[in-house]
A and B are shown apart, each in its own frame.
Chain A
């Protein structure tokens, strides 16, 4: 009984081991990869330096603090053309974030409704939703943005149509919303003295709702009794704020849009560029979310519903406690990437003249200062940070709903 135990003689290190021996090969490959990467990087950087010096340019972000000298038609923070490029960039970034935020909300609403209705037993509704999803998914979003813009600016009445004794167009919702081809005017809140208290009360009541949820959950686990959670939360949401509002003597009023001369004044002016971008991005992304929601619901096997019914849960509680938590696990990761896509697609604002980050920093600033390299680098870095922030934020949420495995 002899076993082959004779190990190969140790011949010391040979050069061929770098390729043939798995112990060393990984190091060889990594060193080669590192060298190749550094060579390419050095090549690009060297070219850039040579090209820049040939053009007499340097890399300098100082221009950001010069006077911007251009106007931005939609500002969330105060901005005039005397402000710096830096502030213009910030205004653009805020506009990007605004459209991304509004778009994500509306897209989720549309997507959930369409996804659920596509599973509806109603044949007709399901077909309509299929039609919506397939048509929006398969046509470029840029075309949708342009199409929505064309609807808003071509098919809507001009402000002058609202004038006169017998106007051709009239305002919506009891004369509070004016939809015109120059944009939509909605009532704007006017914050009077003491409105701070109303806002604080409202925020506190949100906190109260959260605290009540915790309390009710603990009470349920201790005693097994279920409170009418929904109604109590609804009451906490509305009652304190409304009480404070009246106690303070109605500090928050609305300013309604009014026809002044040839255009509307007062109220909040939502530009067509923003509306078109918002609606197009929401409907486009909504069609993808609809598919995600549908597949998420379909992914939960029927046995789960039946098991919940067998335990005696009512349909609403089955949905809330059994189906949704499981479906969310399937839905959330692709949903995150849709939110990211929407945020990135908002850079198509260029097509309709919405002044987002790309149009301020990557557009007018770039063209007036001629600093392509700095502007593009800064813009990419900002987009990258925004994307990473959104995805990490959503990943935290995803972790909290993920299946807790032992």
Chain B
């Protein structure tokens, strides 16, 4: 898995920091307003602004994990839950990406998400 040094560690970090809301398979919860990542997450990589959006979303940016661990977790989640949507020229996330974007706070995450999804159409 490109950009994932230790899949087991990435999986545990997913369970501890993401699974509670997004679910074990990333299915999310329509009733609970939790976005679905399964078979969808990779679509963000196909639109301008999408790559950094996945780092800037509050759950990722504020997770109690190092920049390296965040990069690994993003790559693992993309490859595990949404492999078919990842573009062929995708460069795995690395520590520098996370350092660059994690601290740039998203003012209105729902609005930004909507804007990117419109771009996917």
A-B interaction: no
Q: Which residues of B contact A (CB under 8 A)?
A: none
